[in-house]
Structures are given as structure tokens and as C-alpha cells.
């Protein structure tokens, strides 16, 4: 049994320690934010933040996560009280199908934690691992720019 | 470059809007008739419901695909019914609850469903006012309506909830209702925020991938190494003993496994892959000369447009060029997924299909059951941009569920399944010659096009469901279908959007489909506009004309000229003559499907001198799609089209060997990433609330490179997939 610390709460998780975090978040903890996109660390749809680093949750087994802080989309806010990045994405209408957006928000969250005033180049370089197929990128960049400086 | 889209706007109900105008002019109104899909499904309660609390339900047979249609349809209903948006519940695409509006495709949702809801809501408002007048013993003309309440002079009132008590909404549409006219819009024509965005951005279970019904099991499918492979041996003993495994499905050459846990299902799928041996034959065409082989395949040739004397004119200066594009994939970020439950002889499938009714018929055929033994309910998925794996995943779930009665079965494809098994967009070749007269005008145009079908969507038969190819009934791969003009398939927008005195367009419809192909965003539109607009630039240069001025000289429709002029003006076309070294500009214009939305696009690109890589720096589009119900929805769609089309044009090509698809992940099929996103993508919407027009879009820019994926020149000796796919210049 492994104890995962997710969004400020401890969860005792049974099962194969090799299980990637993504499946435990989605199926055991019933958190929908992180999505399966490729299972290969190539698209970023599954991005969550561990301690302060963005990780591909499809690649990281739960065996290495005991005692570490996992933050998912659900940890940033709710539909009634969205967090600053979520608000900025909603204000920019920065979603078409929206499947990649939770991963985008989590990667941006990790950026703004370490650099509250990123340049446009900083944002593009940081967001490079995450794919969007709908072409929402310009609005995603707008939303991150808007949120920059508003996230402590 | 270009890509089609569903845009949130629609053709006006001609009668409805004409009515207001005619009344003002004091003339007679034309005969009333239902519009859009209200023609086929004329009962109001097929579209709208009101309960005793006054809550409104809107039923649409179209699907929300991330294009914002749910919000735009809600705006139509709220406006015409005079209710608060928050009182409306939207029910979309379900064989159990909505009418059959076919596929959500062809940028036709606002036309078909939007117009139906608009008119049904307007009529229902009039009916409710009539009931209120009866209840309040007054004349309807003395009543006012707001926020779902009908009020008489003096303040007596009846809410919609009161009025529907004991009354039926089952009445026929007459098409005679007065629509709220555009100047009085409170909800339509506004940037109403998308209803589905806040839940998607906070982790609500919006997607079919997020479904988790009680007792659900996880399944994965093991596909053959290629389309034609057959199973030669299989040892199931190891797989069945793995933790959590509930069922191994082995029917003919069809293999799948279901387990309690998702990761258990994936482990079991890998073991099942190892346990299966296949006979693999060489079935794919020669990759080194895809375009020559395309032109050599059996084809039906047809002249689809002929004007004047056709072709190039003797004595005029003749130019010619050939354009090409390879197989391109939909490449959804979330692999296809479905949940199915088989219980008491009935199969229910939750699917992100674009057409729940056609899918139901195909699944019923596959299972050899009557259609009413199957229901398909659309739940949102990852953006699909056409016919991707959605329907096949639904078939997978339905098949596997037959072996696990009473338990919901969730199937999600792996990344390699999605890349390798979705139907691609056809490769295409265009050869064009045009002649320029002494006046610098095009006086002859001859365009020949080669393309496979863009239509193998499920319709009636299970042949169009890929999993059905491998079960013992062995439904064969489908025949392609042609889509008649003006919509068109491969020939969509093959007829230029310009006024040309002499033109001939020939479509060689290539029958074989060595790689699976079907509907990909804008069908042939992307490529035809790429080819035509690239060639227009070449002709302008030959005529020593400005590319924008040259296009305007060949346009007569004022709405066409307006988008061209607006895009050029907002881009600063004239100033852009003085771009830095290594930068260039391009322009394009099209009217989608020759009858729908008008769009013009100006772009600035740059070329990396070392690598030849082209980058889109800036794009400015102008679009006129008629009555803009939600302008931001239109802008978002067009922006997305521009970026997606840039990705297709600059990066994308499906790679394969003689035996298998080798583009199986994002490293072997790269798409545009953030470093290549333009610095700005501006979209200017010309809103024409009273203009008969319609929906969708796509755009193009073009310079000298005549094939995609496009580079200025290829680095010598480069072995990347893009370069290997382009053996010749």
C-alpha cells in the first residue's frame, strides 16, 4: 500500500506499485483532470504537478510518489470558485474540445509558481511539451499571459 | 493553408426574416414553411420541452464537438423563447432522446438544427402567449413576454410553467412564427461564454473518457499488424491468468481483453499482443512515389465545371503547376473511447461519434440485431475534425460488451491504435494550367484533380466499422461514397471561387483505398484552396499584379470583395511589402463549398535559412458567415483552423512501409508545437444579421512550395520522416 498526498489530502492506494499515477488519479481517486493522451510522455494531456515540477502522470509510477505533494487540476479550484489560471482560461475562452486544457493549465501553474512574470518566449518554451490539436494555442498563450502576475 | 471548421452562424430562415422586412414594407409575405431540420421533424416537442417549474429543455440531434454548437443553439432558443439562458438544459445527439439529424458535419449545424430550434422556439413563444391570453381573457397583442413570464397590462401574469400545465406541446410547426428580429437580440449575436468550458477546466466528468458507471470494466483491443493480416496462432493461457482479467475476446481475427482495472487491462493487452502470431502481407503502395501511384490507380473521371470554351486560350500566356499533399491524420489528442452496456438484450453505447443514428444502424448490422436493440448516446470526446476512430471504438465497446452482460465496458484506444487505425485524409494531386490575357486577366483555367473518397463514415452497413472487418462475419472494408457538389468530397472547392470567363475542372475520383481514408476537416477543401490560391499568387506575379488587387479583379460578389479588402486592410497589406529579409507574405480567398461562408486570409511567414523550415508569423482573417450568433465562437473556430492548417501544411505526413503504418506516435507524426505558434492570429467577423448565408470556413495561403509538408528547401541527407516522404522536389 502506498500513501499518496493529492491536493492536500492523503490517500492510501492499493495495487501494483508500477501503476502510472494517471490511472490511480482517474480511477481510484476519481479525478478527471489528468487525461490519457499518449501514454508516452509526448503530449502532456496527463500533466500534473509533483512538488513544484510538472510531470507526465502517464509515465511516473506511484512507487516513487510516497510523501510527495501531487497537485491536479482539481486542486486549483472548482467550477464555482475557479483558481486564477482557470479564471484566465475561462475569460479567454481558451478551449475548443478542451481535452488538452487541464494539462496546459497544470504546466502553466508550475511555470507561474517559479516565474510570476514570464516573457512570451519563456511561456512558449515552457509549454513546448504539451500538444493541442484544435489550434487553441493563441488563446492558451493569452490566458497564461493574463494570469501571470496574478498567481502568487 | 487551410482547414475546415464548423462555425457558429447560420443561414437565416428566409421566410422568418423576410417577414419582418415585408411587414415594414407593407407587402405580402411568402408562404410559410418550416426550415432546416424542422422540415423533416415538424413537431415542436421534438425540439423543445417545458416543465411545470418553467425549465426548458432543448433537444438537438447535432453533437457538441468543442465547436461551441451547444451554446449557440441555446442562444437561439433563449432568444426566441424569451427565457433566461440558465433555465435551459441542452440535450444533444442521442438515439434515445433526439431526432435523427444525421452527422454533425459539413458546417451545417446552425443551418439544420439552429434554424429548426429558432423557428420552433418562436412558434412556441407565440403558442404560450396565446394560452396566456385565453387564461387571462385578453388579446394576445396586449401581452408582453420576458424571462419565461407572460404579463398583461395591469400586471396579471402567467409563467411558462403555469401555462404548460395540462397542455401538450405536441403540435406541428407551421413556419409562420414571427422571429425576434436581429435589432432586438439580447442573447443571440453576443459573445455568450461557452457552457461547456468551466466544467471542462475544473475537472467535471464531461468527456466519454471520464465516464465511470457503477460496475464498469476496462477493455483494450489488440489489432493486427496491418489491415490484411490474419491470425495464425494464439496462446491465451498466460493472458487469462493475469491479475484482474475478466474476459479475453477472441472472435475470428478480432482480439480484445477486459479487466477490472485500467492498468490491468493495458498489461493484459501487451501480453495478448505477445501471445498472438499473425501472417502479414505486403499490402501498402510504394511510399516513394505516392503521387504517381495515386494517378495510376483506377479512377472515375468527370468534368465537374465547364464555362465558356474551358481551358487555356490560344495566343495567351500559359502557366502551369502541380500541387500535392500526402495522407494526413485527424490526430485527436485523446484516443478514441466508448462505453457500452449490454443488458436484457439491449446494447447502449456512449460514444463521441459525429452521427449517432448512422452509427446505431451500423452497430445493429454488426451485431445482427434490429436497430431498436441498440441506442447510441453522444458524449463529448477529444476534438475529432471528421471521421476518426470514434465510431470504431463504439463498435469495439459494443462487441466486447456482448461478452460481459450487465457490466459497462469502457474501451479506450492506445496512442498507436489512434495513429495507426484511424481513417486518414486522402492524398491529393492537382495539375493546373491557366492563361493570362493581354489585360492581365485570367482568360482560361484548366484544373485536374486526383483524390480518393472522403466518405466512408458508418451509414447502414457494418462494413464501415473497422472492428467488423475482423469478426467471423467478416464485413469487408467499405466502398467509398461520393458527396455531390456543391458540398463535394475530394472536389470540394475544386471549382474556383472566382469569376472566370473560361474554365474547366476535372475530378479523377480514385477508387482504391490502400490506406483507410474518410472525412477529414473540410474534405478536399483544404487542398483545393491551397492549390488554387498558390496558383493565383503565381499568376499574379506573372501578371506583375499585386496579389490582392489581382484577386479583386476576378471577384464580382460584393461580400467576397468585402472580406478580401478587410483582411488586406487589417493586415496592412501594402506596408507588408517592406518585410525583413527571409520573411514573405501570402494571401488567399475562398467561399466555402462555393455557397457558404466567405473568408480571406493574409499571412506573414518566415524561412529559416539553415533548415528551410517555414514558420507562420502572423495571420489576419476576415470572415462573413451571415448572421453571427456567437462572434467569439466564430473567431475561435477560425483561429483554430489557421493553426491546424499551418500544422498540416508545414509538418504532417502519414508514413508507412510496404506492410504497416509507421506513423504511430507524436514523434513519428509530428504536429505543430508552441514554438511555431504565430505571434498573432486575428479574425475579423463581418456580421450580416439579415443576410442569407451560412456556416463554415477554411483558408489558405500559398507561395512557391507546391506540396505539403512544406519546406523552402530540404536539408541534404536529412532522414526525418518529413524529408523521406518528399523524395522529389
Does residue A141 belong to the interface with chain B, where contact is any CB pair within 8 Å? yes
Whether A134 and A98 map to the same domain: the answer is: yes
- Provide the 3-class DSSP secondary structure of residue A63: helix
Please state, in angstroms and rounded to a whole number, the distance separating the CA atoms of residues B117 and B119. Answer: 5
Does residue B670 belong to the interface with chain A, where contact is any CB pair within 8 Å? no
**Considering its fold, how many domains does chain A have in total?**
2
DSSP notation for B338-360: EEEEEETTEEEEEE--S-HHHHH
DSSP label of B327: -
Least confident window among B80-89, B169-178, B360-369:
B169-178
Chain A residues whose beta carbon lies within 8 Å of the beta carbon of residue B640: 96, 134-136
Average pLDDT of the residues in B353-376? 98
Chain B residues whose beta carbon lies within 8 Å of the beta carbon of residue A144: none
Considering only CA atoms, give the Rg of chain A.
15
The CATH T-level fold of domain B290-327+424-454+489-724 is Aldehyde Oxidoreductase; domain 4 (3.30.365)
DSSP notation for B61-100: SS---SSSHHHHHHHHHHHHHT--GGGEEEEESBTTTS--
Q: Where are the beta strands (DSSP E) in B457-533?
A: 503-510
Segment B533-576, tens digit of pLDDT: 999 999 999 999 999 999 999 999 999 999 999 999 999 998 77
Nearest CB among A89, A101, A128 relative to B673 is that of A128
Nearest CB among A32, A78, A97 relative to B205 is that of A32
Is residue A103 assigned to a domain?
A: yes
Given this model, what pLDDT does residue A150 score?
54
The CATH number given to whatever domain includes residue A38 is 3.10.20.30
Does residue A99 belong to the interface with chain B, where contact is any CB pair within 8 Å? yes
Please state, in angstroms and rounded to a whole number, the distance separating the CA atoms of residues A84 and A80. Answer: 13
Nearest CB among B207, B666, B674 relative to A43 is that of B666
Chain A residues whose beta carbon lies within 8 Å of the beta carbon of residue B665: 38, 40, 42
Nearest CB among B264, B383, B643 relative to A99 is that of B383
Given this model, what pLDDT does residue B107 score?
80
Chain A residues whose beta carbon lies within 8 Å of the beta carbon of residue B385: 133
- Provide the 3-class DSSP secondary structure of residue B247: strand
Q: Which range among B373-382, B472-481, B607-616, B697-706 has the greatest average pLDDT? A: B373-382
Is residue A152 assigned to a domain?
A: no
Quick one: cell of B211?
465516464
Residue B697's contacts (CB-CB under 8 Å, 6 or more residues apart) are B4, B5, B7, B107, B592, B597, B599, B623, B625, B637, B638, B641
> Dihedral of CA B662/B666/B668/B673: which sign?
positive
Is residue A55 assigned to a domain?
A: yes
CA distance B331 to chain A (A): 7
Least confident window among B32-41, B671-680, B694-703:
B694-703
Chain A residues whose beta carbon lies within 8 Å of the beta carbon of residue B201: 73, 82, 86, 89-90, 95, 98, 101-102, 105
Cβ(B250)–Cβ(B400) under 8 Å?
no
Any bridge partners for residue B322, and if so which?
Answer: B431
The CATH number given to whatever domain includes residue A129 is 1.10.150.120
Please state, in angstroms and rounded to a whole number, the distance separating the CA atoms of residues A56 and B198. Answer: 23
Does residue B196 belong to the interface with chain A, where contact is any CB pair within 8 Å? yes
Whether A104 and A62 map to the same domain: the answer is: no
B486 upstream amide cis, omega within 30 of 0: yes
Per the model's pLDDT, the better-predicted residue between B283 and B531 turns out to be B531
Distance linking the first and last C-alpha atoms of chain B: 19
Does residue A57 belong to the interface with chain B, where contact is any CB pair within 8 Å? no
Whether A65 and A7 map to the same domain: the answer is: yes
Whether A40 and B334 lie within 8 Å, measured CB to CB: no
On the question of pLDDT at B8 being above 60, the answer is: no
Return the CATH number of B208-222+230-279+330-421, one of 3.30.365.10, 3.20.20.140, 3.40.50.720, 3.90.580.10.
3.30.365.10
Any bridge partners for residue B301, and if so which?
Answer: B508
Residue of B nearest to A81 (CA): B202
On the question of pLDDT at A7 being above 80, the answer is: yes
Residues 425-444 of B with CB under 8 A from A: none
Does residue B649 belong to the interface with chain A, where contact is any CB pair within 8 Å? no
Given this model, what pLDDT does residue B713 score?
54
On the question of pLDDT at B695 being above 80, the answer is: no
Segment B47-80, tens digit of pLDDT: 999 999 999 999 999 999 988 999 999 999 999 9
Quick one: cell of B728?
522529389
Whether B415 and A40 lie within 8 Å, measured CB to CB: yes
Per the model's pLDDT, the better-predicted residue between B612 and B156 turns out to be B156
Cβ(A9)–Cβ(A3) under 8 Å?
no
Does residue B212 belong to the interface with chain A, where contact is any CB pair within 8 Å? yes
Chain B residues whose beta carbon lies within 8 Å of the beta carbon of residue A56: none
Residue B295's contacts (CB-CB under 8 Å, 6 or more residues apart) are B429, B450, B508
CA distance A67 to chain B (A): 23
Distance linking the first and last C-alpha atoms of chain A: 35
Nearest to B314 by CA among B409, B395, B435: B435
Please state, in angstroms and rounded to a whole number, the distance separating the CA atoms of residues A91 and B247. Answer: 46
Element (H, E) at B198: helix B197-202
Whether B414 and A39 lie within 8 Å, measured CB to CB: yes
On the question of pLDDT at B2 being above 70, the answer is: no
Is residue A53 assigned to a domain?
A: yes
- Among the three residues A45, A74, A103, which one is the final residue of a domain in this structure? A74
On the question of pLDDT at B729 being above 50, the answer is: no
Cβ(B111)–Cβ(B593) under 8 Å?
no
ipTM score here? 0.97
Whether A27 and B206 lie within 8 Å, measured CB to CB: no
Segment B12-46, tens digit of pLDDT: 333 332 222 333 333 334 457 888 999 999 999 99
On the question of pLDDT at B708 being above 70, the answer is: yes
Q: Percent of chain A, pLDDT > 90?
A: 96
CA distance A43 to chain B (A): 8
Q: Is B374 exposed, middle or buried (0-12, 13-18, 19+ CB in 10 A)?
A: buried
Long-range contacts of range B97-100, CB-CB < 8 Å, 24 or more positions apart?
B97/B59, B97/B377, B98/B46, B98/B59, B98/B60, B98/B61, B99/B37, B99/B40, B99/B41, B99/B46, B99/B47, B99/B59, B99/B61, B100/B41, B100/B61, B100/B357
Place A24 in a pLDDT band, splitting at 50, 70 and 90.
very high
Quick one: cell of A72?
491536479
Residues 91-150 of B with CB under 8 A from A: none
Any bridge partners for residue B149, and if so which?
Answer: B146, B159
On the question of pLDDT at A136 being above 90, the answer is: yes
Return the CATH number of B33-175, one of 3.30.365.10, 3.40.50.620, 3.40.50.720, 3.30.420.10.
3.30.365.10
Domain limits for position A99: 84-147
Does residue B414 belong to the interface with chain A, where contact is any CB pair within 8 Å? yes
Quick one: cell of B444?
482560361
Quick one: cell of B463?
462494413
Residue of A nearest to B638 (CA): A135
Whether B263 and A141 lie within 8 Å, measured CB to CB: no
Whether A65 and A9 map to the same domain: the answer is: yes
Cα–Cα distances in angstroms (integers) from residue A82 to residues A67, B79, B503, in the given order = 27, 28, 57
CA A22-A26-A31 angle, 5° bins: 115
Residue of B nearest to A83 (CA): B202
Quick one: cell of B540?
499574379
- Among the three residues A74, A93, A125, which one is the final residue of a domain in this structure? A74
Nearest CB among B209, B680, B681 relative to A36 is that of B209
Which residues belong to CATH 3.30.365.10 in chain B? 33-175, 208-222+230-279+330-421, 290-327+424-454+489-724
Best mutation target, B1, B333, B420, to test chain A (most A CBs within 10 A): B333
Does residue A41 belong to the interface with chain B, where contact is any CB pair within 8 Å? no
- Among the three residues A56, A74, A92, which one is the final residue of a domain in this structure? A74
Does residue A19 belong to the interface with chain B, where contact is any CB pair within 8 Å? yes
Average pLDDT of the residues in B226-230? 94
Whether A37 and A13 map to the same domain: the answer is: yes
CA distance B712 to chain A (A): 23
Looking up cell 475529432 gives B384
Please state, in angstroms and rounded to a whole number, the distance separating the CA atoms of residues B587 and B23. Answer: 43
Residue of B nearest to A21 (CA): B263
Whether A45 and A90 map to the same domain: the answer is: no
The size of the A-B interface in CB pairs under 8 A is: 180
Whether B382 and A102 lie within 8 Å, measured CB to CB: no
Residue B390's contacts (CB-CB under 8 Å, 6 or more residues apart) are B336, B338, B351, B352, B353, B354, B381, B384
Quick one: cell of B149?
413570464
Cβ(B650)–Cβ(B677) under 8 Å?
no
Chain B residues whose beta carbon lies within 8 Å of the beta carbon of residue A95: 66, 194, 197, 200-201
On the question of pLDDT at B228 being above 70, the answer is: yes
Angle between helices A137-147 and A120-127 (to 10 degrees): 120
Longest pairwise C-alpha distance within chain B: 87
Quick one: cell of B159?
409563467
Does residue B210 belong to the interface with chain A, where contact is any CB pair within 8 Å? yes
The per-residue pLDDT of chain B, averaged, comes to: 90
Is residue A79 assigned to a domain?
A: no
Cβ(B615)–Cβ(A124) under 8 Å?
no
Whether A12 and A67 map to the same domain: the answer is: yes
Nearest CB among B67, B206, B680 relative to A96 is that of B67
Amino acid at each position: 500500500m502506498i500513501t499518496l498526498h493529492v491536493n492536500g489530502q492523503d490517500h492510501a492506494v492499493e495495487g501494483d506499485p508500477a501503476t502510472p499515477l494517471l490511472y490511480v488519479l482517474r480511477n481510484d481517486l476519481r479525478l478527471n483532470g489528468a487525461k490519457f493522451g499518449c501514454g508516452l510522455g509526448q503530449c502532456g494531456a496527463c500533466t500534473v504537478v509533483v512538488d513544484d515540477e510538472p510531470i507526465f502522470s502517464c509515465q511516473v509510477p506511484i512507487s516513487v510518489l510516497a510523501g510527495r505533494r501531487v497537485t491536479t487540476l482539481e486542486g486549483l479550484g472548482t467550477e464555482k470558485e475557479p483558481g486564477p489560471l482557470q479564471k484566465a482560461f475561462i475569460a479567454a475562452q481558451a478551449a475548443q474540445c478542451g481535452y488538452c486544457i487541464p494539462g496546459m493549465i497544470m504546466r502553466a501553474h508550475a511555470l507561474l509558481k517559479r516565474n510570476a512574470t514570464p516573457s512570451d518566449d519563456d511561456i512558449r518554451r515552457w509549454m513546448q511539451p504539451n500538444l493541442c490539436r484544435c489550434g487553441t494555442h493563441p488563446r492558451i498563450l493569452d490566458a497564461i499571459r493574463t494570469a501571470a502576475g496574478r498567481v502568487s | 493553408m487551410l482547414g475546415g471548421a464548423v462555425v457558429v452562424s447560420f443561414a437565416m430562415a428566409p421566410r422568418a426574416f423576410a417577414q419582418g422586412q415585408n411587414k415594414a414594407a407593407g407587402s405580402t409575405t411568402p408562404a410559410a414553411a418550416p426550415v432546416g431540420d424542422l422540415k423533416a421533424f415538424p413537431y415542436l416537442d421534438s425540439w423543445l420541452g417545458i416543465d411545470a417549474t418553467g425549465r426548458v429543455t432543448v433537444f438537438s440531434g447535432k453533437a457538441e464537438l468543442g465547436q461551441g454548437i451547444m451554446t449557440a443553439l441555446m442562444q437561439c432558443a433563449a432568444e426566441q423563447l424569451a427565457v433566461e439562458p440558465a433555465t435551459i438544459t441542452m440535450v444533444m445527439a442521442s438515439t434515445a432522446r433526439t431526432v435523427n439529424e444525421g452527422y454533425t458535419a459539413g458546417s451545417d449545424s446552425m443551418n439544420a438544427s439552429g434554424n429548426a430550434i429558432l423557428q420552433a422556439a418562436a412558434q412556441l413563444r407565440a403558442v404560450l402567449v396565446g394560452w396566456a391570453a385565453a387564461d387571462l381573457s385578453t388579446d394576445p397583442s396586449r401581452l408582453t413576454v420576458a424571462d419565461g413570464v407572460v404579463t398583461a397590462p395591469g400586471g396579471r401574469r402567467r409563467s411558462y410553467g403555469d401555462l404548460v400545465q395540462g397542455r401538450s406541446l405536441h403540435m406541428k410547426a407551421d413556419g409562420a412564427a414571427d422571429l425576434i428580429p436581429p435589432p432586438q437580440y439580447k442573447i443571440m449575436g453576443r459573445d455568450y461564454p461557452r457552457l461547456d468550458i468551466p466544467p471542462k477546466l475544473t475537472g467535471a466528468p464531461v468527456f466519454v473518457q471520464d465516464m465511470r458507471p457503477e460496475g464498469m470494466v476496462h477493455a483494450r483491443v489488440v489489432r493486427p499488424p496491418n489491415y490484411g493480416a490474419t491470425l495464425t496462432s494464439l496462446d491465451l493461457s498466460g493472458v487469462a491468468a493475469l491479475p484482474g482479467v475478466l474476459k479475453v475476446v477472441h472472435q475470428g481475427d478480432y482480439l480484445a481483453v477486459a479487466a477490472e482495472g485500467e492498468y490491468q487491462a493495458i498489461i493484459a493487452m501487451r501480453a495478448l499482443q505477445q501471445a498472438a502470431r499473425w501472417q502479414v502481407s505486403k499490402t501498402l503502395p510504394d511510399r516513394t512515389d505516392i503521387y504517381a501511384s495515386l494517378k495510376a490507380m483506377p479512377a472515375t473521371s468527370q468534368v465537374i465545371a465547364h464555362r465558356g470554351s474551358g481551358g487555356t486560350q490560344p495566343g495567351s500566356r500559359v502557366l502551369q503547376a502541380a500541387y500535392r499533399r500526402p495522407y494526413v491524420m485527424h490526430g485527436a489528442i485523446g484516443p478514441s473511447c466508448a462505453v457500452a452496456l449490454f443488458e436484457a438484450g439491449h446494447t447502449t453505447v456512449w460514444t463521441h461519434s459525429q452521427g449517432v443514428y448512422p452509427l446505431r444502424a451500423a452497430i445493429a448490422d454488426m451485431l445482427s440485431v434490429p436497430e431498436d436493440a441498440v441506442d447510441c448516446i453522444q458524449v463529448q470526446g477529444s476534438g475529432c475534425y471528421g471521421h476518426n476512430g470514434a465510431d470504431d471504438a463504439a463498435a469495439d465497446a459494443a462487441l466486447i460488451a456482448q461478452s460481459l452482460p450487465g457490466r459497462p465496458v469502457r474501451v479506450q484506444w492506445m496512442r498507436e491504435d489512434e495513429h495507426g487505425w484511424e481513417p486518414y485524409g486522402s492524398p491529393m494531386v492537382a495539375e493546373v494550367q491557366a492563361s493570362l490575357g493581354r489585360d492581365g486577366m485570367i482568360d482560361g483555367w484548366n484544373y485536374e484533380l486526383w483524390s480518393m473518397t472522403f466518405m466512408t463514415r458508418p451509414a447502414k452497413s457494418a462494413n464501415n466499422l473497422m472492428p467488423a472487418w475482423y469478426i467471423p462475419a467478416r464485413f469487408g472494408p467499405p466502398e467509398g461514397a461520393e458527396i455531390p457538389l456543391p458540398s463535394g468530397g475530394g472536389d470540394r472547392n475544386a471549382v474556383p471561387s472566382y469569376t472566370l470567363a473560361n474554365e474547366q475542372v476535372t475530378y479523377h475520383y480514385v477508387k482504391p483505398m490502400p490506406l483507410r481514408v474518410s472525412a477529414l476537416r473540410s474534405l478536399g477543401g483544404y487542398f483545393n484552396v491551397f492549390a488554387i490560391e498558390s496558383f493565383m499568387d503565381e499568376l499574379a506575379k506573372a501578371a506583375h499584379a499585386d496579389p490582392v488587387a489581382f484577386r479583386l479583379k476576378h471577384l464580382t460578389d460584393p461580400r467576397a470583395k468585402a472580406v478580401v479588402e478587410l483582411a488586406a486592410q487589417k493586415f496592412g497589406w501594402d506596408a507588408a511589402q517592406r518585410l525583413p529579409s527571409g520573411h514573405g507574405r501570402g494571401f488567399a480567398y475562398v467561399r466555402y463549398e462555393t455557397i457558404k461562408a466567405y473568408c480571406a486570409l493574409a499571412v506573414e511567414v518566415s524561412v529559416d535559412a539553415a533548415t528551410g523550415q517555414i514558420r507562420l508569423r502572423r495571420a489576419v482573417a476576415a470572415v462573413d458567415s451571415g448572421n453571427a450568433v456567437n462572434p467569439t465562437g466564430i473567431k475561435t473556430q477560425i483561429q483554430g483552423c489557421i493553426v491546424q492548417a499551418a500544422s498540416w501544411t508545414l509538418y504532417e505526413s502519414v508514413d508507412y512501409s510496404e506492410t504497416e503504418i509507421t506513423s504511430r506516435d507524436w514523434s513519428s507524426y509530428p504536429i505543430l508545437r508552441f514554438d511555431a505558434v504565430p505571434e498573432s492570429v486575428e479574425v475579423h467577423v463581418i456580421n450580416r444579421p439579415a443576410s442569407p448565408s451560412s456556416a463554415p470556413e477554411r483558408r489558405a495561403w500559398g507561395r512557391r512550395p507546391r506540396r505539403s509538408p512544406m519546406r523552402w528547401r530540404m536539408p541534404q541527407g536529412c532522414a526525418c520522416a518529413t524529408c523521406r516522404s518528399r523524395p522529389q522536389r
